[in-house]
Amino acid sequence: MTNELQHLVDALAQRLRRPVAIDDAAFRLLTYSSQSGDVDELRKTVVLTRDVPPDCLTWLRGFELSKAAQPVRLPANPVLRADPRVAIPVRCQGMHFGCLWLIERDSAIDDADLAVASAFADQAGEILFRERISSELEHARSGELLRDLISDEAGTRISAAARLAEHGLFAARGNVVCLAVVADGPELDEDDRLALSASLDRAAHSLPARECLRMVRPAHGVLVTTEPALRHCPDLPRMLHGTASRLLGKTGKSHDVVVGVGQASPTLADVVFSYRGALQAARVANAVPLFRPVAEFAKLGVYGLLAGLPPDRLPGQLDSMVSRLLETDPSLFATAELFLDRAGDVRTVADALSVHRASIYPRLRRIEQVTGVDLADGEQRLALHLGIKVARMQRLV
């Protein structure tokens, strides 16, 4: 938050001789004056945690402050340890930015002081309006540079990274990571892209302002952040998936949303490789339910290699073995996959299938007969294993 808004709050607090705070439209604390014994326990909690307790949030939303045009007096709430307070809407150009708060702990605020506070709230609205415009311009500029950052041209990427750093739009602390949110299903229209953009914006609120870039491409959304920021907010990929699924669901179309997390890149100019990895991880998640709803490129195993190939370049010569397996008995496919995934551990395969271990050996002999593969031969096992994974990627099963 700018020093301008902080100076405004401090000036009002000094003039009224009482604490002042401003929060945004979601009741998140933006700035506050020095706090003294005049504040209640609720204010102390919010200042210390920078967050509003859920029960308090429900209470505040009941007053519909976003629709208020004049100051609203809130009564005391002993359960929430909240003294009487006044919420003055902070608005500009018809936009609601939040509220300016005054606590009436020992004495009520008279009309003269309320008029002064309202004038200050109007000034706060102008400051926040200017910041909103500036933020949107910055977002547009950073979005353009992000497009260059994931270009196929190395020179373009290096130039974009330098400009992002020069203009203070991205400050890399350590490695850089890209997330891709992909909606499988009908082609994305304008409403879908707006929903995707809103989900990226909400995810960005959990990250440091200078450690997040985001944009929407024709078929997916892109978010770039730093590895330290992602470690600090490890639930971010699942939060992004949940928000995108919910908002896209409101458009009335059926989209299967997945999020891919790319490998860490050492520099911002190299984030294109993390971007490609994120898309490959999302592709695997779409094809293999095991990896949904969030797939990390680093955990894809052999699927990471297969996902790097165009669909028409996947080794089709392996399909015949798998096809024979599926046509003969789909349960043989499941047994073969488990056997190969578990490095030939029959006991583990039997436990996974909930059958007796002795029943696995006849299945393995049948798999050899159908496929023509000698499971004792390492290269033949590898060929069959790869064919099974290709079938998964091609959604044959």
**pLDDT bracket for residue 239 (50, 70, 90):** very high
Q: Apex CA 223: angle with CA 219 and CA 228, to 5°?
A: 155
Name the residue type at position 339.
F
| Helix 271-287, helix 378-393: angle, nearest 10 | 90
Instruction: Summarize the confidence of residues 177-187 as an average pLDDT.
Output: 88
What's the residue count for the chain?
Answer: 397
Sheet holding 176-184, edge to edge: 212-216, 220-226, 176-184, 256-261, 294-296
pLDDT, residue 38, reads 66
Q: What is the pLDDT of residues 18-68, one digit of tens each?
A: 889 999 888 888 999 986 666 788 888 888 877 788 889 899 999 999 999
Q: Tell me how far apart the alpha carbons of residues 2 and 27 are, in angstroms, rounded to a whole number.
A: 18
How much is the pLDDT for 158? 94
Helical packing angle, 111-149 and 154-166, nearest 10°: 160
Predicted local distance difference test score (pLDDT) of residue 319:
62
Residue 387 has pLDDT above 90, yes or no: no
Tokens at residue 42, please? 């609720």
Angle at which helix 360-371 crosses helix 346-353, to 10 degrees, equals 100
Lowest average pLDDT, out of 48-62, 69-83, 110-124, 312-326, goes to: 312-326
pLDDT confidence tier of residue 294, bands split at 50, 70 and 90 = very high
Report pLDDT for 159. Answer: 95
